[in-house]
A and B are shown apart, each in its own frame.
Chain A
């Protein structure tokens, strides 16, 4: 059974506020001190859909991509296959069962590597063809809907 919860490195931050009351207080404090209203819509920091072919366009910026994990070396470096069938390096990804599909949201470090910030295990089956076509449409003809 794959784990469906996305993990973030900042999740430790939330642990101390496990109980509802303190979490509310934290939210309240954030609300008071944040310069922008907490509710404002924000489209300033998108995470565009990419495959290996599109990745080079976003070096240094946030991206999202689905990869199939080949192997993890234990030190947080994972080799994985993109939806357009290229080898990519994903850094800071915890061990994921080989062959599983993982969605990674993170910063494109080079045109072949991504530093993971948020990850979601998509399990063992995923329609990579549709996803790959989506990447192309979302960066091409229908870019205005996404970016």
Chain B
């Protein structure tokens, strides 16, 4: 193994023997697949997935779920055994696949106000940081909100499935251009349901997971930019071309571009009339 890695041009410049061994083992052209697939922002997961995530046990290291480093996760489940202490509020989150201990540190009045609403037996959406403390996996929550639209429960688990499917395809080296934009059987009902959602807009990290929530016109624009991106040069696509190509009025196109721009999915290039997909 050592000799083969010596001839590997990829690892020849990547430093010590440890690094090159790693490269050979993972037999991928990229130096570190786990990293290249990216530390994902906020990953929707089930408790079962957390229980099976690989982790070295070292308190500082990351968890690996779906083949990618994961630190921040979002879960939906029922609260049990809420316990209020001076500095924090602890509870057990049961999402039907398992139970995990959660802790919300209470520093500001805002934190305690938010936690006051959280009672045993209610459904909540938790955003938090995955940690291993004395060998026990737990969630340090930075936001705990009551679920008021119960379609959010279905949505969350479909979101987990979607995320798993996406990374599975990535792992196989298939770039799924149509997966993010839609697999109609999976997405259509969710899209209908999610019109009523109040996705936490205050949480920009979540935006990337609400991709499938983009409205139809936005999606058309995005798809068009995606499909025509390789043919065009750095200037991107002119809004008039989008309007002609999609047979949609210019003001609608501009509105969609603004929304997509705010979500960081597209950007304007040489002027405000040329756009490219981010």
Contacts and interface: CB of A to CB of B under 8 A. Distances in A.
Contact of A4 (B85, B97, B122, B153): B122
Q: Which of under 10, 10 to 19, 20 to 34, or 35 or more describes the interface residues of A?
A: 35 or more
Nearest to B196: A125
Given A24-B83, A130-B151, A130-B154, A142 B161 contact: yes
Interface in A38-62: 38-44, 46-49
B277 interface: no
B2 interface: no
Given A6-B123, A20-B84, A130-B158, A48 B98 contact: no
Interface in B76-106: 78, 81, 83-85, 96-101
A138 interface: yes
A38 B82 CA distance: 12
Given A5-B119, A146-B97, A43 B151 contact: no
B193 A41 contact: no
Nearest to A42: B99
Contacts of A105: 96
Contact of B96 (A4, A23, A64, A129): A64
Residue among B83, B85, B164 with the highest chain A CB neighbour number at 10 A? B83
Interface string B1-33: 000000000000000000000000000000000
Contacts of A4: 122-123, 146, 148
B96 A46 contact: yes
B189 A133 contact: yes
A145 B53 CA distance: 11
B51 interface: yes
Residue among B83, B150, B189, B190 with the highest chain A CB neighbour number at 10 A? B150
B96 A47 contact: yes
Given A39-B138, A48-B96, A126 B150 contact: yes
B49 interface: yes
A18 interface: no
A103 B150 contact: yes
A39 B136 contact: yes
B160 interface: yes
Given A39-B138, A41-B51, A145-B49, A6 B121 contact: yes
Given A146-B96, A147-B97, 17 more contacts: A4-B123, A5-B119, A6-B123, A39-B136, A41-B100, A41-B101, A41-B136, A118-B78, A131-B154, A133-B189, A134-B157, A137-B158, A142-B164, A145-B46, A145-B160, A145-B164, A147-B48
Interface of A: 4-8, 11, 14, 20, 23-24, 27, 37-44, 46-49, 64, 101, 103, 105, 118, 120, 122-123, 126-127, 129-131, 133-134, 137-138, 142, 144-147
28 contacts: A4-B148, A5-B119, A5-B121, A23-B83, A38-B101, A40-B136, A41-B137, A41-B138, A42-B99, A43-B47, A46-B96, A47-B96, A101-B150, A122-B150, A123-B150, A127-B154, A127-B189, A130-B155, A130-B192, A142-B161, A142-B164, A144-B48, A145-B49, A146-B46, A146-B48, A146-B96, A146-B157, A147-B48
